[in-house]
Amino acid sequence: MRNTVLIPTYRRPQDLLRCLQALVEQTKPPFQVIVVVRDIDTDTWQFLEGFKETTLPLDTVKVTVGGVVAALNAGLEAVKGDTVSITDDDAAPRPDWLERISAHFTSDSRIAGVGGRDWIHEGEKLLDDSCEVVGQLQWFGRVIGNHHLGMGEPREVDVLKGVNMSFRTSAIAGSRFDQRMRGTGAQVHFEMAFTLALKRAGWKMIYDPAVAVDHYPAQRFDEDQRNNFNEVAWINLVHNETLVLLEHLPPTRRTVFLLWAILVGTRDSLGFVQWLRLLPKGGKLAAQKWLASIRGRWQGWQTWQKHHSFLINN
């Protein structure tokens, strides 16, 4: 099985170096490594010009539009392998990463996607908590991620995480990531749109904690600054989540989701109950998050009404 690795990068050459070095150390060498770089990212272009690792089958793709969706879609155009494994420039796949991925795809022809744990490094600390429930979409529309905490045996899931997800190229042939996802960089939930569309087309998604990468969350150069509140980034996140779930859920569950989202929600996409829960400590910030969540829900609804729909070829 020929494995392509696809890495979108922007202004993080030292992180990219660590990622590429990890690919050199794979027990199953990659058939192709694609690095997608913005045209204006002079630091990364200079780094790649001086990168001397000749054993790595490295291809570069230039993209002129910001955002991870545009970068990945440009990269998909250049894929030559039987599988494509996507990771971030601030991640380092463990040595048996590609070997384990290939084993899953070989075991079952109905598997379209394989993901695994990203072991998060917070400075010198390794986040080593654990959780059994990973990558699940509950019947009323709540999405449980926890990909960075998963333990146990391989199992079927609904959603994979962008830092560690692989696809069978024959399953996604001609398909691309959803350009309706908002954001100028991270475009949160872009992977949920893609994997749920694959599920609708009848494919399997597998999560195996042993398919692991080390993840060193680095600086982002857009409105989404991870743990800091930004109104635009918050609205974009809720918009994307709302759009994806409205599209995926059948009519009855869609109605339940809207009611639950408005009345309850989550700490990342606040409903009324979550706002009340956060209000004593959050005060004005809690109100800002709630209002941004309402705007994101409304804008997600509007996008869904105007632009049906995102599909995967079967």
Domain limits, the chain? 3-215, 231-306
152 to each of 107, 117, 131, 133, 165, how far by Cα in Å? 19, 11, 9, 10, 18
pLDDT in tens, 230-268: 999 999 999 999 999 999 999 999 999 999 999 999 999
The whole-number pLDDT of residue 185 equals 87
Instruction: Tell me how far apart the terminal alpha carbons of the chain are, to the nearest angstrom.
Output: 21
Three-class secondary structure of residue 300 per DSSP: helix
Which superfamily does 3-215 belong to? Spore Coat Polysaccharide Biosynthesis Protein SpsA; Chain A (3.90.550.10)
Torsional sign, CA 268, 216, 94, 53: positive
Angle between helices 68-76 and 190-200 (to 10 degrees): 50
55-113: pLDDT as tens digits: 899 999 999 999 999 999 999 999 999 999 999 999 999 999 999 999 999 999 999 99
